[in-house]
Amino acid sequence: MRDILYSSLKRQSKGTELLTFMLEEEYSLLRGGQPDAVAGLEISIQELVRQLVREREFLQKILAQAGYPSLAEYLATQSEDEQECFITLRDYLVDQEQASARQSTVNADLAMALWEQSGQLLSTFSSRIAPKERNTYTAKGTWHDRSTTASLVSGRL
């Protein structure tokens, strides 16, 4: 059981380390203006997060089957050397999770800022392209005199 738990923690720590790296890569792609590459990387990030969740659930299941509600309860039954080994790995895992969370927040803020900037830029372009006068030529090249009041039906009675 010790090897199973240690291997699970090791996989989780390597996975969160990879997640941090991928989030940093996503940040550089966001800064570089490569939306297609960001979209592809985002799919990989989501799959990695799913795998990390499954690994965490597996660890909890193994502990529950052995009658331990948490890893701390299991470690309390182990020698100090074993505890130190697990605690070091667990602390590294927590540090990597926090680094991933921080980078994810930075990426989300940057993506939201880019989205707002794009919306404002589109709005500016639209306002510059739209004709100032209401009376303009149509796509067919004829003069179109728009009424100033809203109406559902127009024509003669």
CATH number of the domain enclosing 17: 1.20.58
> Is 156 within the bounds of a domain?
no
User: Helix, strand, or coil here: 60?
Assistant: helix
> Is 44 within the bounds of a domain?
yes
> Is 34 within the bounds of a domain?
yes
pLDDT in tens, 99-152: 999 999 999 999 999 888 888 888 887 777 766 666 666 667 676 666 555 555
How many residues are listed for the chain in this entry? 157
pLDDT at 153: 59
pLDDT at 133: 63
DSSP letter assigned to residue 137: E
> Is 14 within the bounds of a domain?
yes
> Is 6 within the bounds of a domain?
yes
User: Helix, strand, or coil here: 136?
Assistant: strand
Domain housing 16: 2-131
- Secondary element (H or E) of residue 143: strand 143-144
User: What would the mean pLDDT of 29-39 be, rounded to a whole number?
Assistant: 89
Q: At what angle do helices 2-32 and 35-65 cross, to 10 degrees?
A: 160
Task: Say if pTM beats, i.e. exceeds, 0.85.
Answer: no
Residue 126 gets the label, from left (phi > 0), alpha (psi -120 to 50) or beta, of: alpha
Contact call for residues 87 and 75 (beta carbons, < 8 A): yes
Mean pLDDT for the chain?
86
User: What would the mean pLDDT of 82-106 be, rounded to a whole number?
Assistant: 93
- CA-nearest of 119, 34, 113 to 26 is 34
> Is 143 within the bounds of a domain?
no
Would you say residue 155 has pLDDT above 70?
Answer: no
> Is 18 within the bounds of a domain?
yes
pLDDT band at 82 (very low <50, low <70, confident <90, very high): confident
Q: How many domains in the chain?
A: 1
pLDDT at 79: 87
Tokens of 26: 């996503």
Question: Which residue type does 115 have?
Answer: W
Q: What is the C-alpha to C-alpha distance for residues 44 and 21, in angstroms, rounded to an integer?
A: 12
pLDDT at 71: 87
pLDDT at 17: 95
